[in-house]
Structure 1
Amino acid sequence: MKNSIYIILFLLVYVCISCKDDEGNNGMYQNRTVNILDYGAVADGQTDNTSAIQAAIDDCAKGSGTVVVPRGTFLTGPIFLKSNINLHLEKDAVLLGVNTMADYYNAFYPAVFGPMTSSSGVYTPSLIYADNVENISVTGSGTINGQGESENFPHENNAKRRPKLIFFINCKNVKVEGVTLRNSAFWVQHYLMCDGVILKDLTVYSHSNWNNDGIDIDSKNVEVTNCHIDTDDDGICFKSDTPLSCENVVVKDCVIKSNCNAIKFGTSGFGGFKNIAVSDCQVSKASEDNFRHWAINMAWSGVTSNNVAIAGIAIESVDGAALEDVSVSNIQMEDVVTPIFVRLGDRNRTYTGVPSTLRNVVISDITAKSESKLSCSITGVKAASVQNVTLKNITLNLLGKGTQSDAAASVPEKEAEYPEANMFKMVLPASGFYVRHADNITFDNVQMTFRNPDARPYFVFDDVKNSAINNSRPESVADKNFLKGISISNISIDGVLFEGGGGETPDDKPGPGEIGEDGVFTVGSNSYQTQIYGNLRWMVTNSKEGIPVAKTYEGKSEGENGYYYDAAGKNSACPPGWRLPTWEEAEILKATIEANPGSEAVKWWTDADFGAFAGINSGNWTLWGEQGVWRLADRESDGRKYCTMTIKKDGTISIEEGSSKNPRWYSVRCVQDVEQK
């Protein structure tokens, strides 16, 4: 009897050990919970726990279950997740990534990514890594900290091989929930070619290094909800770095704080984007600005602060793939350089051999406050137009301050440039939306208010067809101030075909001696830009000192290169209705420019796009393009003594008395009282 009992007990134990699930795993290994402390982990923030944590994962992965990281700080190198494992960080638990590049290199090169020299900016090391596994998760209320601020990591824009915090490749059924992700040395988290990803209740705070994207999604069947992202680079970024498309993604109820683009599609865009919806999110400035300094690096845009996002919504397709069936809705944003940037470019044709496509996009129910003169834009390229984009129920509170010079600006194509709202490096000629190379664009109930006066039209359409603006035009705004059309066809405003608006036709150009509405003054066959400062309109000319002469001058006819004058006369160097500025007026201008060196006022004098810098003719024009030197009015009654004003590229200004033996060495700046206009 006793022996029979022993036999029965043995058989029961054998059956338990031998029992396997449908996948062939031993039943006793299923749904286990293991604690990394049981594998030798030490919570002192100094001991390297990589081996202990990996041992816990490997042991639990014999079946399935949860690997627990308890309260405390655990220093670790790269961790490789296995199928059917949940890495769970309890409250006050911290996984602290090692800050030595060698630990990441040794773990990933060549075993994972091959030789280090063949690695790219996409396939990089990571603190938590998984490749071709399924049913994995990182959960809990603890923190993963990558120590990206460490001097041991490269600190430069786009430096390769820096580690991410989380990088999952080609995985199925992924969930990351509840944890806090901090201080990555590169992108914070990246999901590449995965199928079925849930990101929920995450807190991301990363301002420790360049390129700290909050979430990078390059997968399908993804849901992102209730995440709080505060990061130096793009907030939520949809990417497509392989021939596979990023598709079937839902993002909602997120708070996004960014120094770059809050919601971004691309770059890259090699496989394309399909069926993606972003909704119910709040966008604002990041909590820190450690690298971007937009008030300095984008001073030309009139940006009001360093601490702003470049764009609230950036939708880009530039690498030969299709972006289609995208919606962005119910977004509240502030602290942005520009609210909306849509760009179809022709940077790469890697897999398709043809230009990209960008179509079937709806942007709706947006409220935004911008902090620069840089307007929204929707632009394609000559070879490919943006198609079927609808913007509706949008309220924009814009900075304004656009000048007549801005309104007259010609925007370069830059077809192959990196796509970014600031890519044209200039203030766009529209105060609200600049649209070029586009077909079937609809604006419906798009309302704009301006905190400062703006001389630009609300909309500029260039090479645009089959488009409409409805319920968006204030009653007090005339056609020419509302929409400027260049090479347009079938454009309607509130159902009425648009035929006016300051398009580039001969009748719109000012005649000789006239100032156009864009501030351009016509001299002979040339046009010169003018700018108003206070009560004076200043003109940049190539005029010389003296009285106009009828004969040709140095082989040039009058009007071919401005007015030409006999230097001996010195009575007037300005066209009728214009005069030389006085010393006092020059002093006021000097004070205006020096009061704000980064302002548009300084840009106008230092850009040299319109010949402001004739320089000093010293025989070889060595100062050409470096500084502008011109005559001011005399301070003596005989009219023989002139003053010289110099503005250098750095904004340094000087005003000096004195006459020259050869006054034709200097260009002339003429002024006109605004009241005389």
Structure 2
Amino acid sequence: MNILDSYFSGLTMRILLVLVAVTSVQLRAQTYDVRHSGAIGDGTTDNTLFIQKAIDSCAVTGGKVYIPKGVYLSGTLVLKSNVTLHVSAGATLLGQPDTKFYPHQNSGIPFYGEDWAKQALIFCKGQKNVAIEGQGMIDGQGAAFVKTTLKKPDRYKDRPYLLWFAGCENVSVTGVRLQNSAFWMQHYLGCKYLRIDGIKIWNHSNKNNDMMDIDGCSYVTVSNIIGDSDDDGITIKSTSPLVSEHITITNCVLSSHCSAIKFGTESVGGFRNIAISNCVIKPSAQLKTIYGKPGGIGGLAMEIVDGGMMENITVNNLVIDGAEVPLFVRLGNRARKHIESANTPGLGKIRNISISDVVATGAGITGCSFTGISRAPIENISLHNISVEFAGGGVGSDIQRVVDELEDAYPEGTMFGKLPAFGFYVRHARDIKMSGITLRYKTAEQRPAFFVSDTHDFSILDTHVKPNPGPQAMIKVEKSSNGLIAAKEYHFPAANFIEKDKLSKNIIGKKE
């Protein structure tokens, strides 16, 4: 080969390398405008196939599927690996109002609810590096799926989630507004490395309108959420043997007619290593309720009733306004199988829980309960720097009322009715530490501030309790042992500071 041939050969090779590099960059990150696939944002054209075509093309190269300003009507869309669905400002992805547009899906993970929860507007199974982002809106038109006459479980069927991710990894949902789901707003089942940040949620169009369900997921961050839902708010579940673990929830403003932050009810795999902080819980802007109460049934509800373990949970810096029961912890034994062929769950456990720096106002007459069952007490629970203002209005006969065990009942903060303490009722517990507790009420109270039953190795220190008008004690203790009780502000007759039965041993009380 002569010098000239060698030069042109090298030049050709360099050109080919440049073309390959340019092509590689183009393949590596592309944006697919759904209009180029045929989508029309007029609110009436069915765009399911057009948007899916854009998703499928994007999955080959990776990149973004872009939904521009307009209203894009669609049925089920299947999201795929390396695809970001970008819903731009002024854009609405609008769910079709008919079940025929939502084919049944299989999550690949057996879970409680799989017999009826089979549909979604956006479905993603077993994919990696997927995202939904933007300043636009996704609306499920959930009111079109209301079933007023059907009983469980038939009334659950043919109501699609808005978002359903199952068995996925590296999932991100940011910025968008989600509203009007026919069922739960978003269900994340068995996912790893999940980020939900800066989204707004409105869900008041149907029954079971949960705000968000984190179910058997791990390595999860939920932050900067502003949400309002008829049913439960940010909900951590375990509808399968998968554990919900390594989760943080922070900087959220939440409203729910039921429980704003909730663990459960399904708890088969359990909950572990979870931190919740800096959240405001306020009454819903929607006064009409489907379930619950306008101000909410619960602020924070922590429940294990289908086996599983709840452990290593911290909750701090909560403001709770209007919830009937601001704080509720319940270990029960409903023992519901997650699938028919599964073994019946054994007794669950609740242990190593810290709740601190909570200010709650507008609470109802019920009171807060922290309860296990006789065969399975809750353990190592710490409450510190808690201030609650209750409605008050309890009478003397409430103190003598027998609180049913309700071991296998659905857990809810109001499940026991009006409690024999206006503040905290603690039963079947061990190693309970309460300090810096301030309790007030609006209407005169005849119930004690605390009622402790079958509780051992406990302390209630540095209490600030509004004085009661009658002769009742500040705390009543029964069937308990090894308790230290101290009041910083003491407004009770000395003889009535502590009332304890003959079965209680080593209960010490003092004024600090």
In the alignment, structure 1 residue 483 sits paired with structure 2 residue 470: no
1:120 corresponds in structure 2 to 115
2:456 paired with 1:465 = yes
Per the normalisation by structure 1, the TM-score is 0.67
Amino acid at match of 1:311: G
Please say if residues 324 and 361 of structure 1, whose CA atoms lie closer than 8 Å, have aligned partners that are also in contact.
yes
CA distance in 1, matches of 2:11, 2:161: 51
Letter in 2 for 1:329: N
CA distance in 2, matches of 1:50, 1:288: 32
**Alignment match, 1:404:** 396
Q: Does 1:376 align with 2:376?
A: no
Q: Give, as a single letter, the amino acid of the residue that structure 2 aligns with 1:376.
A: C
Displacement of 1:492: 1.1
Could you tell which deviates more after superposition, 346-355 or 81-90? 346-355
Residue correspondence of structure 1 range 317-396 to structure 2 within 5 A: 317-348=304-335, 350=337, 353-396=345-388
- TM-fit CA distance, 1:474: 4.2
CA deviation digits over 1:38-78, x for unaligned, max 9? 00000100000000000001001102101100000000011
What letter matches 2:433 in structure 1?
A: T
Answer yes or no: is 1:415 the counterpart of 2:407: yes
Give distance in 1, aligned partners of 2:484 and 2:496. Answer: 9
Confirm or deny: 8 A CA contact 1:349 1:355 kept in the other structure: no
| 2:230 aligned residue | 232
Q: For 1:149, what is the secondary structure of its paired residue?
A: helix
Match runs of 1:103-502 below 5 Å: 103-104=101-102, 107-108=103-104, 119-121=114-116, 123-150=117-144, 152-155=145-148, 159-161=155-157, 162-218=159-215, 219-292=217-290, 306-348=293-335, 350=337, 353-424=345-416, 426-474=417-465, 481-494=473-486, 501-502=498-499
Residues 427, 486 of structure 1: alpha-carbon distance in 2 compared, 3 angstrom cutoff: same
Letter in 2 for 1:338: V
Contact 1:246 1:271 (C-alpha < 8 Å) held by counterparts = yes
d(CA) in 2 for partners of 1:20 and 1:479? 85
Q: Deviations over 1:610-668 (max 9, x none)?
A: xxxxxxxxxxxxxxxxxxxxxxxxxxxxxxxxxxxxxxxxxxxxxxxxxxxxxxxxxxx
Query: What number of residue pairs does the alignment pair up?
Result: 482
The letter for the 1-side match of 2:459 is: A
Deviation sequence 1:117-174 (CA, Å, 0-9, x none)? x9435x4311111111110100000000000011x44357873231111110111111
Give the whole-Å Cα distance in 1 for the aligned partners of 2:41 and 2:336.
50
Deviations 1:167-191 (A, max 9, x none): 1011111110000001000111111
Distance 1:140 1:8, change over 3 A: farther
Task: Give CA-to-partner distance per residue, 1:250-276, whole Å, 9 cap, x none.
Answer: 111000011000110111100010010
SS at match of 2:246: strand
Amino acid at match of 2:95: G
Higher strand share: 2
| 3-state DSSP of counterpart to 2:297 | strand
Q: Secondary structure at the match of 1:108?
A: coil
Q: Residue type matched to 2:375 in 1?
A: A
When residues 495 and 174 of structure 1 are mapped into structure 2, their CA distance, relative to the original with a 3 A threshold, is: same
Equivalent-residue separation in structure 2 for 1:455 and 1:382 (angstroms):
28
Q: CA deviation at 1:394?
A: 0.5
SS at match of 1:291: coil
Counterpart contact for 1:479–1:500, Cα < 8 Å: no
SS of equivalent to 1:54: helix
2:228–2:285 CA contact under 8 A, matched in 1: yes
Tell me the distance in 1 between the aligned counterparts of 2:12 and 2:127. Answer: 36
Q: Residue in 2 aligned with 1:650?
A: none
**Deviation of 1:502 (Å):** 3.5
Shift of 1:235: 1.0
Instruction: Write the distance in 1 (CA, Å) between the matches of 2:483 and 2:434.
Output: 11
Are residues 128 and 164 of structure 1, via their aligned partners in 2, closer, same or farther at CA, if it must alter by over 3 Å? same
Overall identity of the aligned pairs, in %: 36
| Contact 1:321 1:352 (8 Å CA) reproduced | no
Per the alignment, in what secondary structure is the counterpart of residue 37 of structure 1?
helix
1:572-628 per-residue CA deviation (whole Å, 9 max, x = no partner) reads xxxxxxxxxxxxxxxxxxxxxxxxxxxxxxxxxxxxxxxxxxxxxxxxxxxxxxxxx
Q: Does the 8 Å contact 2:84/2:133 carry over to 1?
A: yes
Change (3 A) 1:80 1:17: farther
| Equivalent residues of 1:349, 1:356 under 8 A apart | no
Q: What is the rounded CA distance, in whole Å, between the counterparts of 2:395 and 2:362 in structure 1?
A: 17
> Cα–Cα, structure 1 residues 242 and 19, in superposed 2: closer, same or farther, change >3 Å?
farther
Q: RMSD over aligned Cα, in angstroms?
A: 3.0
Larger Rg over CA atoms: 1
Contact 1:124/1:160, CA 8 A, preserved across alignment: no
Report the Cα distance in structure 2 between the residues aligned to 1:412 and 1:485, rounded to whole angstroms.
17
Could you say which residue in structure 2 is the equivalent of 1:89? 87
TM-score (norm 2): 0.87
Distance in 2 (CA, whole Å) between partners of 1:10 and 1:94 is: 49
In structure 1, the gaps of 5 or more residues are 295-305, 507-677
Higher relative contact order (CA 8 A, sep 6+): 2
Q: Hey, what's the Cα distance between the residues in 1 that align with 2:257 and 2:487?
A: 40
CA distance in 2, matches of 1:169, 1:11: 46
- Write out per-residue CA displacement over residues 398-424 of structure 1, whole angstroms, 9 at most, x where no aligned residue: 110001122221110010111111222
Cα 1:44–1:476 change in 2 (3 A) is: closer
Q: 1:217 to 1:17 in 2, by over 3 A?
A: farther
Secondary structure, in 3 states, of the residue corresponding to 1:430? coil
Q: CA deviation at 1:371?
A: 3.8
Partner amino acid, structure 2, of 1:139: E
Structure 2 residue matching 1:59: 3-state secondary structure: helix
> Aligned equivalents of 1:256 and 1:33: distance in 2?
34
Q: Any conservation in 2 of the 1:129–1:167 contact (CA below 8 Å)? A: yes
Query: Shift in Å at residue 291 of structure 1?
Result: 3.4
CA distance, structure 2, for counterparts of residue 48 and residue 353 of structure 1:
45
Question: Distance between the aligned counterparts of 1:170 and 1:65, measured in 2?
Answer: 21
**Which string of whole-angstrom CA distances, capped at 9 and with x for unpartnered residues, describes residues 474-498 of structure 1?**
49679951111110111111399x9
SS across alignment from 2:440: strand
Query: What SS does the aligned partner of 1:330 have?
Result: strand
Map Cα deviations across residues 344-382 of structure 1 (whole Å, 9 max, x no partner): 011117468420000000110000013421100001111
SS where residue 143 of structure 2 aligns? coil
More moved, 364-373 vs 42-51: 364-373
1:451 Cα deviation from its structure 2 partner: 0.6
Q: 8 Å contact 2:357–2:384 — kept in the other structure? A: yes
